[in-house]
Amino acid sequence: MSWSKDPRGYHHGNLKEALLRAALDLIAQKGPAGFTFAEAARAAGVSPAAPYRHFRDREELMANVARRGFEAFAQALTRAWDDGRPEPFSAFERVGRAYLTFARSEPAFYSAMFESGVPMEADPELRVAGDAAFAVLRAAAERLIATLPAAGRPPALMMALHVWAMAHGIASLFCRGDAARRSLPMPPEDLMEAAILVYLRGLGIDPVRPSSP
């Protein structure tokens, strides 16, 4: 669905897209630090100065990759959450797994989003995209907490932050593609599922609460 030589293209046609894709490939191969502006240009078949017509500098390109990453991430989490079907508990576990699946299947996006050092303030759209992704997690937490008796409900924001931190921690430590990954005596997804299980039990949220048995 993507051509590097578009007949409609005169000079290049869609260098911006080509650069973003090249960056994604390079980040996936050599990490966010190993990615170079010049090499992305080379991959797109243009001179080293050409990218500057589309991105102020290397960091702006990285911020763009991160923004798209957050958008795809939010989509993936939303799809996993599936509006809490069939019931919030198992749906929430699905979200946890989806988090790790994304980190593993889109390492370039994940690196750009969380490990590239790009400040969220770099681009308002980046912040919006990042907030939208977190909002999915937060909404899910709210739904899950709503299943508890009204008295003594923990704050949903806190729960969302805890789950985010746990997922990010597991992803960072155990889901990396490169050699920096720590070894683990089990699949990261299992570790994540167990963590969520224990954590939710700590909040008083139990796995099986069928309202209509």
Partner DNA sequence: AGCTCATGTTAATGGGGTTTACATGACTTG
Partner DNA sequence: CAAGTCATGTAAACCCCATTAACATGAGCT
Q: List residues near a second copy by CB under 8 A.
A: 31, 33, 114-115, 117-121, 154, 157-158, 161-162, 164-170, 172-174, 178-180, 182, 184-185, 191, 194-195, 197-203
Judged by CB under 7 A, the residue of 1, 7, 10, 179 near DNA is 10
Least distance in angstroms from the C-beta of 7 to a second copy: 39
Token output for 122: 């770099």
For DNA, which is the closer residue by CB, 10 or 86? 10
> From a second copy, DNA, none, which one binds at residue 135 (CB under 5 to 8 Å depending on kind)?
none
- Each residue 156-195 as x (binds DNA by CB under 7 A) or -, in order, gives ----------------------------------------
**Alpha carbon distance 102, 100 (integer Å):** 5
Least distance in angstroms from the C-beta of 130 to DNA: 23
For DNA, which is the closer residue by CB, 49 or 158? 49
The residues in 28-67 that bind DNA, with binding defined as CB under 7 A, are 36-39, 42, 46-50, 52-54, 57-59
> From a second copy, DNA, none, which one binds at residue 58 (CB under 5 to 8 Å depending on kind)?
DNA
Token output for 213: 């048995």
Applying CB under 7 A, the residues found at the interface with DNA are: 8-13, 15, 36-39, 42, 46-50, 52-54, 57-59
